[in-house]
């Protein structure tokens, strides 16, 4: 085998269909575009979502809700996650290093999900009413 004798497998390559090249090609004159109308013109076709003047779907549906751009700065931690962490004192930095919250998080709150067996002291971390009661019941505190 020589580099100059390599060629693609039979049927792998085929010539591009050239339209508008005379009567004999079978795709002359209108070049497969039919007669007249918007789709036959050069540069003329509708935009994405256009429904021929009918009110488009994305405008027929009601607008609903929004996503706050501040959400990326909020994070929540469960009681179970705190229990598995096994630290006596927990602050935002400790949670970030443990990978329980994202690097962008500024406001962190403990939620009552699961249970807590160890005493944990929270510094600069909020807690819901139920979570606060569970932490204090386990002998911990929320600062």
Neighbouring residues of 112: CB distance < 8 A, sequence distance ≥ 6: 79, 128, 130, 131, 133, 134
Q: Which among 41, 64, 87 is the end of a domain?
A: 64
Judged against a pLDDT cut of 90, whether residue 137 lies above it is answered with: yes
- The model's confidence at residue 106, banded by pLDDT at 50, 70 and 90, is very high
Please tell me the predicted confidence (pLDDT) of residue 127: 95
41 φ/ψ sector (left φ>0, alpha ψ -120 to 50, else beta): beta
Q: Name the residue among 94, 74, 76 with its Cα closest to residue 85.
A: 94
- Find the domain containing 20 and state its range: 15-64
In a domain, 10, yes or no: no
Q: Which among 24, 48, 64 is the end of a domain?
A: 64
Write out the two tokens for 35.
């007669």
137 and 76 co-located in one domain: yes
Could you tell me whether strands 107-111 and 121-122 are parallel, antiparallel, or unpaired per DSSP bridges? unpaired
Which secondary structure element, helix H or strand E, spans residue 127, and what is its range?
Answer: strand 126-127
**How confident is the model over 9-37, as a mean pLDDT?**
93
In a domain, 47, yes or no: yes
Judged against a pLDDT cut of 90, whether residue 44 lies above it is answered with: no
Q: What are the pLDDT digits (tens) for 65-103? A: 999 998 999 999 999 999 999 899 999 999 999 999 999
C-beta separation of 118 from 138 below 8 A: yes
Please tell me the predicted confidence (pLDDT) of residue 46: 86
48 and 28 co-located in one domain: yes
Please tell me the predicted confidence (pLDDT) of residue 143: 82
Domain harbouring 104, CATH code: 3.100.10.10
Share of the chain above pLDDT 70, in %: 100
In a domain, 103, yes or no: yes
**How confident is the model over 96-113, as a mean pLDDT?**
94
C-beta separation of 117 from 133 below 8 A: no
Longest Cα–Cα distance in the chain: 92
Q: Is the pTM of this model over 0.75?
A: no
**How confident is the model over 107-124, as a mean pLDDT?**
94
């Amino acid at each position: 085998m020589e580099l100059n004798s390599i060629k693609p497998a039979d049927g792998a390559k085929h010539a591009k269909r050239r339209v508008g090249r005379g009567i004999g090609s079978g795709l002359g004159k209108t070049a497969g575009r039919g007669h007249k109308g918007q789709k036959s013109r050069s540069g003329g076709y509708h935009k994405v979502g256009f429904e021929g003047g009918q009110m488009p779907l994305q405008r027929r549906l009601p607008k609903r809700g929004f996503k706050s751009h501040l959400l990326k700065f909020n994070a929540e931690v469960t009681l179970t996650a705190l229990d598995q962490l096994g630290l006596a004192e927990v602050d935002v930095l400790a949670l970030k290093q443990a990978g329980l919250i994202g690097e962008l998080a500024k406001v962190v709150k403990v939620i009552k999900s699961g249970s807590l067996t160890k005493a944990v002291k929270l510094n600069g971390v909020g807690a819901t009413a139920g979570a606060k009661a569970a932490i204090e019941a386990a002998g911990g505190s929320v600062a």
